[in-house]
Amino acid sequence: MFRLLMAGGGTGGHLFPAVAVAEEFMRRAAETQVLFVGTGRPVEREIFEPRGLTTRKITASGFMGKTLPARALSLAKLPVGMIQSAALLLGFRPHLLFCVGGYAAGPVGLTARGLGFPTAVHEQNSIPGMTTRLLGRIANLIFISFESSREFFPSAKTYLTGNPVRQEIMQSNNIEEKNRTDGFSLLVVGGSQGAHAINMAVVESMRMLAQKRANLSIVHQTGTADCETISRAYRDMSIKAEVFPFIQDMGKAYQKADLVICRAGALTVAELAALGRPAIFIPLPTAAKNHQEINVLSLVESGGAEMIRQKNLTPSVLTERLTRYMSDPEKLRAMGRLAKEAAKPFAAREICDICLDYLETRKKGRKAA
């Protein structure tokens, strides 16, 4: 039985790539046992447990971008988290630890190094976070999603694979393309917590579209805070809309969409490119080192997507873009084709291959010694 320990998380952008990698290992060997270690946030259970993946939690908290007292607390928690990590590692005895970023990965990765467990790290974003940079110094394997990340890690053990995309997302692409004569379908996704600026800009844009609204249907992930407000706004305008705090079946939502309006998290960029879905990206302006804009820049430059910076996001600008794309389906199709050409849809498979090759080589080396 192959035992895979995964650590990190905190957001869907970290967790869903972990799911994709776990799925690939389990596809290779059905008896693979997977254990995910995080900090016990509800999103971890919501994502992993419906898929039959066991979760455990350790004590850890963020450091970067925090106040001085919060940083001191984070450092104080580190020894506790490492003791808890040691107990998990020695109890589970993984063949491989796979870290996906997020502060929970730090104590587990550092402890695994001290105990001699093989460790791999995956960085989703174009600009690596502090945890993956730290773990990159001691990990056996490093996987990156963007070429721009390479400079932060030792070249000899760094592999450009792209972001792993879940099977459920890729399988949605096998569904026959919907008949586009039945109206224009817009998907709005502001990340797992929603995005207030995007939510409000879309609603105000709908007011400006006036007559074109009759041909439009919307699926909108708002986050919890704005859900009722946005639902009411669509009802008042008699717009056909499905509004959710969080969309569980994102593959189905992507497949139905003629156009997606979204943030530029690395996973969202990877999923849309893999499916060849046209999108208007609105990067989160407060993302560390502006990494969301960098995530999508090459796709935009290739013509596979459009970007509107949040400082330029007004209802009139968004209305102009929507009007243009609603009246030019061929332009949308061309954008989708270019997005798909830039995709790396087999990232999970490549990561799994490299990990298993490394472990086999390591095993042979130990036998020879």
Split at pLDDT 50, 70, 90, the class of 133 is: very high
pLDDT score for 202: 96
Q: Does residue 290 sit in the same domain as residue 150?
A: no
Q: Is the pTM of this model over 0.85?
A: yes
Q: Which residue is associated with the tokens 């056909």?
A: 240
Sequential DSSP letters for 238-255:
T-EEEEESS-S-HHHHHH
Q: How far apart are alpha carbons 182 and 178 in whole angstroms? A: 9
Residues of the chain with pLDDT > 70: what percent?
A: 96
Q: Does residue 129 sit in the same domain as residue 249?
A: no
Q: Return the CATH number at 40.
A: 3.40.50.2000
pLDDT score for 264: 95
DSSP state at residue 153: S
pLDDT score for 179: 45
Q: Does residue 276 sit in the same domain as residue 155?
A: no
Cβ–Cβ < 8 Å for 253, 1: no
Choose among 24, 14, 2, 52: nearest CA to 353. Answer: 24
Q: Does residue 337 sit in the same domain as residue 352?
A: no
Q: Does residue 218 sit in the same domain as residue 273?
A: yes
Asked which of 71-80, 126-135, 180-189, 336-345 is least confident by mean pLDDT, the reply is 180-189
Q: Does residue 197 sit in the same domain as residue 103?
A: no
Instruction: Give the residue with greater pLDDT, 289 vs 158.
Output: 158
Q: Does residue 225 sit in the same domain as residue 253?
A: yes
183: number of Cβ within 10 Å: 14
Asked which of 75-89, 126-140, 242-256 is least confident by mean pLDDT, the reply is 242-256
pLDDT tops 80 at residue 152: yes
Q: Does residue 205 sit in the same domain as residue 265?
A: yes
Fill in the amino acid letter for 239.
I
pLDDT score for 173: 67
Q: How far from chain centre, in Å, is Cα 307? A: 18
Split at pLDDT 50, 70, 90, the class of 73 is: confident
Size of the chain in residues: 369
Q: Does residue 93 sit in the same domain as residue 185?
A: no
pLDDT tops 70 at residue 42: yes
pLDDT score for 180: 46
Q: Does residue 334 sit in the same domain as residue 352?
A: no
Determine the structural domain holding residue 20 and report its residue range: 3-165+345-368
pLDDT tops 70 at residue 85: yes
Q: Does residue 127 sit in the same domain as residue 270?
A: no
Q: Does residue 96 sit in the same domain as residue 210?
A: no
Choose among 289, 250, 284: nearest CA to 270. Answer: 250
The pLDDT tens digits of the residues spanning 153-206 come to: 999 999 999 999 998 888 876 554 544 446 899 999 987 666 899 999 999 999
pLDDT tops 60 at residue 57: yes
pLDDT tops 50 at residue 250: yes
The pLDDT tens digits of the residues spanning 108-122 come to: 999 999 999 999 999
pLDDT tops 80 at residue 211: no
Q: What mean pLDDT is predicted for residues 205-210?
A: 90
Number of domains in the chain: 2
Tokens read off for 86 = 């040691």
